[in-house]
Amino acid sequence: MDAKRREVLKTGGGVLALAAAGVIRPGDALGQEWNKAAFDTKSVAETVKALGASGSTPSSGVEITAPDIAENGAVVPIAVESKLPRTEAIAILIEKNPNTLSAEFAIPSGTDPFVSTRVKMAETSNIYALVVADGKYFHAVKEIKVTIGGCGG
């Protein structure tokens, strides 16, 4: 327990030092407000609405890299890249999960609009990559089959 406490103090001190040096803003260090309503949604349409859109347009400028079949639904690797100019945000939605929104990333101006993460999938489902670019919403979709015990599903 004592080692864990030291690690927390060391990490916290490092964050404070970076903030004091002006390398990061205090809001970045402490985390921003999160959209609880969006993370509590139960469908793709509800999630898109909670993220601020009335709908989204399919786009070939949004690319999802993920396996067609995931042998372990607990750790499914997903990467999303946007080739759309002025990409502001990328969200990953999983249609059949208990909560549809799995991740939401702000894309700072001047950075490559690419994110990679691992998500948990309850069952075979469509995943959506929702991209906000120049104030408009775009998406791509891909089905991932989740196998149970590696036997198919």
pTM: 0.74
Spell out the residues 6+ positions from residue 4 whose beta carbon is closer than 8 angstroms to its own.
none
pLDDT at position 4 over 50: yes
Q: Which of 104, 131, 126 is nearest to 117 (CA)?
A: 104
Q: Which of 74, 77, 97 is nearest to 149 (CA)?
A: 74
Q: For residue 5, what are the domain limits? A: 1-32
Instruction: List Cα–Cα distances, 35 to 39, 90, 127, 130, in angstroms.
Output: 7, 14, 20, 15
Between 132 and 13, the higher pLDDT residue: 132
Q: What six digits make up the tokens of 75?
A: 């750790």
* 31-60 per-position pLDDT tens digit: 556 678 888 888 899 998 989 988 999 999
Q: What is the pLDDT of residue 122?
A: 86
6 and 73 in a single domain? The answer is: no
40 and 26 in a single domain? The answer is: no
53 and 119 in a single domain? The answer is: yes
92 and 125 in a single domain? The answer is: yes
Q: Is residue 134 part of a domain?
A: yes
Q: What is the pLDDT of residue 87?
A: 97
Q: What is the pLDDT of residue 102?
A: 93
Spell out the residues 6+ positions from residue 51 whose beta carbon is closer than 8 angstroms to its own.
35, 38, 91, 101, 104, 130, 132, 137
Q: Is residue 57 part of a domain?
A: yes
142 and 118 in a single domain? The answer is: yes
Q: How many residues are recorded in the chain? A: 153
| Residues facing residue 146 across a β-bridge | 70
Instruction: Work out the pLDDT band at 148, boundaries 50, 70, 90.
Output: low
| Residues facing residue 126 across a β-bridge | 143
Mean pLDDT of the chain: 82
**Helices within the chain (DSSP H only):** 2-20, 26-30, 36-39, 44-50
95 and 59 in a single domain? The answer is: yes
Instruction: Count other Cβ atoms within 10 Å, centred on residue 110.
Output: 5
pLDDT over 70 for what percent of the chain?
A: 74
56 and 111 in a single domain? The answer is: yes
Considering just the CA atoms, what is the radius of gyration of the chain in Å?
18
27 and 87 in a single domain? The answer is: no
* 91-132 per-position pLDDT tens digit: 999 999 999 999 999 999 999 999 999 999 989 999 999 999
Q: Looking at the 3D structure of the chain, how many domains does it have?
A: 2
